[in-house]
């Protein structure tokens, strides 16, 4: 899977000549696809999407989960650079696509390393994978027991298994065992793919702003939006701490359309750098 992710990134032309955001002529194209577990072979497979634009993917419909396959993740590339005016981090549209359409974690290949997008149900619950095939449950029980024994004494593992399987019938036990195995696999999958959950690159010392300074920074971002001739009601202002050199505060201006977007991509949202002394926007970065 790591080789497939690297291949997709190379096919997005990440080293093509740099073209500033908003200008034509870029040869970069986002690539993406689905990562699917083949239940019959036990192997992971990649179902690629058609190429997208420089700052937008072109997803196909989510494959169905059935007795033959289960969708475990989706991925895409961010081939643009900071010098071109782009952030490598997940866009608001990427996050919305993960939670409302893909319903599985997302992976992003960037110049600055691999990013992950956790899947969180809109209602706030933990994302639970589909129920496993009942034929795999005996193996699931052994794997879960082995994992628990590595973490705790065998007595504790046995107690957990007993709690998971109260005398309410075999069906309930099978469902709970399947759920626990799924959660265990979700926990280790990022490590298998070499993914690390990282904070956004423009989010150093997120708690360094005092409440008063944060209010002034937000007001400066709102004034910038109005100065551009945009509708203030179209944007949600979201503070994101300080820039890497700590001279500017980073504010995300999240466009409402991106939070409802059915497809991943940069959209209309921006990351604004507001100078802490002058309270002027000194940099605009787009998502991709």
b/e code 19-38 from CB counts within 10 Å (16+ = b): bebeeeebebbbbbbbbbbe
Q: pLDDT confidence of 208, banded at 50, 70, 90?
A: confident
- pLDDT, tens digit, for every residue of 237-287? 999 999 989 999 999 999 999 999 999 999 999 999 999 999 999 999 999
Whole-number pLDDT of residue 154: 37
Distance CA 4, CA 38 (A): 16
Query: Over 80: is that where the pLDDT of 174 sits?
Result: no
The rounded mean pLDDT for the chain is 80
- pLDDT, tens digit, for every residue of 77-130? 999 999 999 999 999 999 999 999 999 999 999 999 999 999 987 554 433 334
Whole-number pLDDT of residue 186: 44
Instruction: Give the residue, 85 or 191, on which the prediction is more confident.
Output: 85
Domains and CATH numbers, the chain: 2-125 (3.40.140), 134-189 (no CATH), 211-286 (no CATH)
pTM to 2 decimal places: 0.72
């Amino acid at each position: 899977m790591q080789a497939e992710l690297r291949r997709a990134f190379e096919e997005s032309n990440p080293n093509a000549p740099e073209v500033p955001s908003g200008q034509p002529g870029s040869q970069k194209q986002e690539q993406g696809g689905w990562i699917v577990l083949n239940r019959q072979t036990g192997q992971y497979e990649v179902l690629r999407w058609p190429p997208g634009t420089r700052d937008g993917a072109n997803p196909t419909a989510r494959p169905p989960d059935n007795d033959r396959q289960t969708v475990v993740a989706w991925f895409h590339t961010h081939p643009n650079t900071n010098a071109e005016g782009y952030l490598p981090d997940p866009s608001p549209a990427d996050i919305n696509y993960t939670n409302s359409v893909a319903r599985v974690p997302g992976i992003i290949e960037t110049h600055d390393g691999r990013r992950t997008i956790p899947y969180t149900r809109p209602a706030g619950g933990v994302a639970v994978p589909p129920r496993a095939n009942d034929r795999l449950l005996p193996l699931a029980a052994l794997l879960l027991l082995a994992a628990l024994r590595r973490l705790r004494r065998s007595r504790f593992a046995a107690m957990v298994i007993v709690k998971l399987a109260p005398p309410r019938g075999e069906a309930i036990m099978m469902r709970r065992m399947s759920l626990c195995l799924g959660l265990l696999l979700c926990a280790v999958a990022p490590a298998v793919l070499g993914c690390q959950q990282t904070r956004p690159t423009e989010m150093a010392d997120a708690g360094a702003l005092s409440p008063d300074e944060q209010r002034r920074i937000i007001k400066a971002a709102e004034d910038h939006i109005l100065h551009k001739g945009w509708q203030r009601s179209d944007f949600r202002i979201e503070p994101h701490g300080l820039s890497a050199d700590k001279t500017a505060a980073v504010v995300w201006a999240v466009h409402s359309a991106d939070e409802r977007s059915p497809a991943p991509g940069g959209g209309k949202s921006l990351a604004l750098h507001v100078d802490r002394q002058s309270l002027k926007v000194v940099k605009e970065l787009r998502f991709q």
